[in-house]
Structure 1
Amino acid sequence: MTTQTSLRLRDLKSEYQQLWNSCIIKPENVNQIQEIVATISSNRPRYLGVQKTINVPWYFIAVIHNMESTLKFTRHLHNGDSLKKRTVNIPVARPAQAPINGWQVGYTWEESAIDALTLKDFDKVKDWSLAAQLWQLERYNGFGYRQYHPEVLTPYLWSGTNLYTQGKYTADGQWDGEAVSTQTGVVALLKILIREENLQINIA
């Protein structure tokens, strides 16, 4: 059943900020998250290369990279499919252009990343405040939790924190109220990444 709720940024911005402020990383997850953040930091130059091309913050790209393909540079940023060919899963058949270096080599990670991010119009975003980034990240993964299971905050953002316990989509359209996401959510990553990299992100 669909819940009638606004999905507009202007209506949700204060909620995201309040959730961020009340969010605490579960102690048992801290070491694992620090390891992920260390890997992200070591690959910062690659993310900065994409940022320079389309003006999307490098750390925003990095957390999507972890969520979609566990930081593997052999996978499409869209959904974790192999870079050897176009995507098979949703979004299907991306990038539309052939690989720059030919099919024998396949796509570079940067080609795929730029396509995935521009497909969602991230290159046109003007508001990179913290709350707006959380809205964009939830939009990237889909608003299914808000629309169909508003009692559960999306684990894409909140897994690994005090704001998520259980309930998740185990596949597209397949809901399991007892299932628990074991993936580290975006917010837990950002909490530590902001501290470790001394990131300056506007609140409003």
Structure 2
Amino acid sequence: MANLNVRIAENAQRWEDAKSTRSFVAIANRLVAAKDRYQAIEHATGVPWFIIAVIHERECSQSWAGSLAQGDPWNKVSVHVPAGRGPFQSWEDAAVDALVNCAPHAAHWKDWSAGGALTLLEQYNGLGYARRGVPSPYVWAGTNQYQSGKYVRDGVYDPAVVDRQLGCAGLLMAMMALDRSIAFSSSAPAPARPRPAADPPPRSLQPSITNPAKGSIGAFFVALIKSVFGRKTT
């Protein structure tokens, strides 16, 4: 199993060093144009809309007939992994199911820093590249961080094949140039701090000469003295 913390750090550094080697502008323009539709899914799942957009592009070239989970038609039962999903009533319903119920369960991911978001995207396609110690074309194709190597089918890796589909990182760079509101979180979420212990409740006073129990003989005499001398005793 790849160490996710290591992969997050590696992807954060790759993001700092990345430069486009192909043009991403045309696809970035149409992804940004669908912002409102992606934002509806963000509101339902908590996944940033621009992350949803690049997943949609990678999985089915932004086809609104294809599911966000694997690109299969959302109005039929899916046959590719994750198989057996659907049919759904709409593209939106299928998208929510993909992000909430299907691995890597993007709706439960909390680290939307550059390294965290790119690692989530890498997990969406699988960590086979991470186990080989190579950059994932799903994320880095079309940038100087990727040269070649691709799983041409399940479990079959060919180091000579070049992924011709544009990767998520370059798409995000181009989208950020078009829409300045797109930004990663500044850092990973801080771990929750333990709450300070509550102050213990005050202990009730024990009966004494100056604080006799209610209804006792002592209480009777204190009341009698107060009535005679007209002052509080100590």
Answer whether TM exceeds 0.5 for this pair. yes
Q: Distance in 2 between matches of 1:65 and 1:183?
A: 13
- For residue 44 of structure 1, what is the aligned residue in structure 2? 35
* Map of 1:201 onto structure 2: 184
**Could you tell me which amino acid in structure 2 is paired with residue 153 of structure 1?**
P
CA contact (8 A) 1:131 1:203 kept: no
SS at match of 1:73: coil
Alpha-carbon distance, 1:175 to partner = 1.3
Of the candidates 54, 74, 78, which is equivalent to residue 83 of structure 1?
74
Assess if the C-alpha contact under 8 Å between 1:79 and 1:90 holds in 2.
yes
Distance in 2 between residues matched to 1:146 and 1:13, nearest whole Å: 11
Equivalent position amino acid for 1:39 in 2: R
Corresponding residue number in structure 1 for 2:128: 144
After TM superposition, give the deviation of residue 54 of structure 1 in Å: 1.4
What residue number does 1:126 align with? 110
Query: 2:7 maps to which residue?
Result: 12
**1:67 pairs with 2:62:** no
How many residues are paired up? 184
Q: Distance in 2 between matches of 1:122 and 1:175?
A: 25
Tell me, what secondary structure is at the counterpart of 1:175?
strand
1:20 corresponds to which letter in structure 2? W
State the identity as a percent: 32
Of 119, 128, 137, which aligns to 1:135?
119
Query: Could you tell me which amino acid in structure 2 is paired with residue 200 of structure 1?
Result: A
Distance 2:45 2:136 in 1: 27
Distance in 2 (alpha carbons) for counterparts of 1:167 and 1:123: 29
Deviation per residue, 1:38-58 (Å, 9 max, x gap): 111111111011111111110
The alpha-carbon deviation at position 163 of structure 1 amounts to: 1.2
SS at match of 1:72: coil
Matched residue type, 1:92 = A
Q: TM-score, normalized by length of structure 2?
A: 0.75
Q: Which amino acid aligns with 1:202?
A: S
Q: Is there any run of 5+ residues in structure 2 with no aligned partner, and where?
A: 188-234
- 1:102 aligned partner: none
Q: Does 1:114 align with 2:96?
A: yes
SS at match of 1:169: strand
Q: Does 2:152 match 1:157?
A: no
Larger relative contact order (C-alpha < 8 A, sep ≥ 6)? 1
Counterpart in the other structure of 1:188: 170
Change (3 A) 1:84 1:6: closer
Q: What TM-score comes out, normalization by structure 1 length?
A: 0.85
The structure with the larger Rg is 2
Does the 8 Å contact 1:79/1:91 carry over to 2? Answer: yes
- Is the 8 Å Cα contact of residues 2 and 127 (structure 2) preserved in structure 1? no
1:168 aligns with 2:163: no
Aligned partners of 1:94, 1:165: CA distance in 2, in Å? 34
Q: Residue 117 of structure 1: CA displacement?
A: 0.4
What are structure 1's unaligned runs of at least 5 residues? 100-106
2-structure distance, mates of 1:6, 1:74: 33
Give the conservation status (yes or no) of the 8 Å contact 2:7–2:130: no
Q: Tell me the amino acid that sits aligned with residue 41 of structure 1.
A: V
